[in-house]
């Protein structure tokens, strides 16, 4: 039943560019991009509670792959290459870092984006002798939006499927207690690695699909750390452990940031930081959990504890 409802909903979303003008379609691209980024980020970080700041490392690699290959290969193959490179990079990074404890992982993941950016810059300057590339692809904003919409929908479906699968159960157990997980027969390293690679591959694809919007690309543009931070705030606001949480966080925050960056371009970073603290402080489990909590209180069903205390 609910799956059938998804078809008209998707069709309506796909028709939006016809209703909105160019500016509106541009917003839709950004929105669909962030919803997909945040949903795929939460796929790994939600249940495992590893806060990854590597989002832009993969996103940027996706975009850069398109910048390098767009004149060499047909577009579908370019996307395939981007996905392959993202997955390989995630595999290597995952193998070397997923044994780290939470806090070290955060720092490493942040450093990774910077490292990749410096490597590409060095390579472009010293080997190819060019810094900055052009993307000439005959893709309008609405084409990009449709691709992101399809990827976003696929990501949600995948996310829902993982939740019901063995893998989803394993991830929730790992999030609760790694010792119990291991002694129950769960291969910690492999489970985390699989999810990290899947999540990072989708993130890479978002970067690749969005790249043609820039036309001109250089490392400092595509490896902007704000992307990583925004992704985390959006996921935390919506609730990273819920299927629809990322979407609920990404939509309002994206629109808010869009408005803020137009209105207060000089103070954007400060506002971003304040927002981050406000979200973590006021809604540590996201809006969906908070709404549920208020509802429970309203119904007087205090016997069932809200999710927050349960996971503490």
**Residue 148: CB minimum distance to other proteins, A:** 32
Q: Which of 118, 128, 220, 311 binds other proteins (CB under 8 A)?
A: 311
DSSP per-residue codes, the chain? -HHHHHHHHHHHHHHHHHHS-HHHHHHHHHHHHHHHHHHHHHHHHHHH------HHHHHHHHHHHHHHHTTTS-HHHHHHHHHHHHHHHHHHHHHHHTTS-HHHHHHHHHHHHHHHHHHHHHHIIIII----EE------HHHHHHHHHHHHHHHHHHHHHHHHSHHHHHHHHHHH-HHHHHHTT--HHHHHHHHHHHHHHHHHHHHHHHGGGTSEE-HHHHT-THHHHHHHHHHHHH-TTSSSHHHHHHHHHHHHHHHHHHH-GGGHHHHHHHHHHHHHHH-TTHHHHHHHHHHHHHHT-TTSPPHHHHH-
Distance in Å, CB of 182 to other proteins, minimum: 4
How many residues bind other proteins, per CB under 8 A? 25
Q: Does 305 sit near other proteins (CB under 8 A)?
A: yes
Query: Could you tell me which residues are beta bridge partners of residue 133?
Result: 217
Q: Which stretch binds other proteins (CB under 8 A): 48-56, 91-99, 106-114, 168-176?
A: 168-176
State the binding string over 178-207 for other proteins (x if CB under 8 A, else -).
Answer: -xxxxxxxxxx-------------------
Distance of closest approach, residue 98 Cβ to other proteins, in angstroms: 14
Nearer to other proteins by Cβ, of 128 and 187: the residue is 187
Q: Based on the shown chain and the rule CB under 8 A, indicate whether residue 284 belongs to the binding site for other proteins.
A: no
Closer residue to other proteins, CB minimum distance, 184 or 220: 184
**Rounded distance between C-alpha atoms, residue 200 and residue 91, angstroms:** 9
* Region of 32-40, 130-138, 169-177, 205-213 interacting with other proteins (CB under 8 A): 169-177
107 contacts 50 by C-beta, under 8 angstroms = no
Of the residues 22, 71, 140, 176, which one makes contact with other proteins according to CB under 8 A: 176
Of 112 and 173, nearer to other proteins (C-beta) is: 173
Q: How far is the CB of 196 from other proteins (least distance, A)?
A: 18
Q: Which stretch binds other proteins (CB under 8 A): 84-92, 132-140, 171-179, 225-233?
A: 171-179
| By the rule CB under 8 A, 278 interacts with other proteins | no
Residues 285-304 within binding reach of other proteins (CB under 8 A): 304
Here the tokens at position 31 are 């929105």
At its nearest, how many Å lie between other proteins and the CB of residue 181?
A: 8
The binding site for other proteins (CB under 8 A) comprises 166, 169-170, 172-173, 175-177, 179-188, 304-305, 307, 309-312
């Amino acid at each position: 039943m609910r799956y059938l409802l998804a078809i008209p909903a998707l069709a309506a979303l796909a028709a939006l560019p016809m209703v909105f003008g160019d500016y509106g379609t541009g917003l839709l691209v950004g929105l669909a991009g962030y919803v997909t980024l945040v949903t795929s980020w939460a796929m790994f970080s939600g249940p495992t509670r590893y806060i990854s700041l590597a989002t832009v490392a993969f996103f940027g690699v996706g975009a850069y792959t398109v910048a390098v290959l767009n004149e060499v290969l047909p577009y579908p193959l370019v996307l395939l290459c981007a996905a392959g490179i993202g997955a390989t990079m995630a595999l290597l990074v995952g193998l070397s870092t997923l044994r780290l404890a939470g806090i070290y992982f955060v720092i490493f993941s942040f450093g990774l984006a910077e490292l990749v950016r410096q490597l590409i810059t060095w390579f472009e300057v010293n080997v190819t002798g060019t810094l900055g590339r052009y993307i000439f692809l005959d893709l309008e904003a609405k084409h990009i939006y449709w691709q992101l919409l399809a990827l976003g929908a696929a990501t949600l479906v995948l996310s829902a499927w993982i939740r019901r699968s063995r893998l989803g159960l394993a991830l929730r157990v790992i999030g609760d207690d790694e010792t119990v997980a291991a002694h129950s027969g769960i291969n910690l390293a492999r489970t985390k690695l699989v999810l990290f690679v899947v999540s990072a591959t989708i993130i890479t694809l978002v970067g690749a699909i969005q790249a043609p919007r820039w036309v001109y690309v250089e490392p400092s543009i595509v490896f902007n750390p704000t992307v990583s931070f925004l992704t985390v705030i959006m996921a935390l606001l919506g609730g990273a452990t819920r299927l629809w949480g990322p979407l609920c966080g990404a939509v309002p925050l994206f629109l808010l940031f869009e408005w803020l960056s137009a209105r207060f371009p000089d103070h954007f970073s400060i506002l971003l930081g304040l927002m981050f603290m406000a979200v973590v402080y006021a809604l540590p489990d996201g809006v969906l959990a908070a709404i549920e909590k208020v509802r429970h209180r309203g119904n007087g069903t205090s016997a069932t504890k809200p999710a927050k205390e349960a996971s503490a």
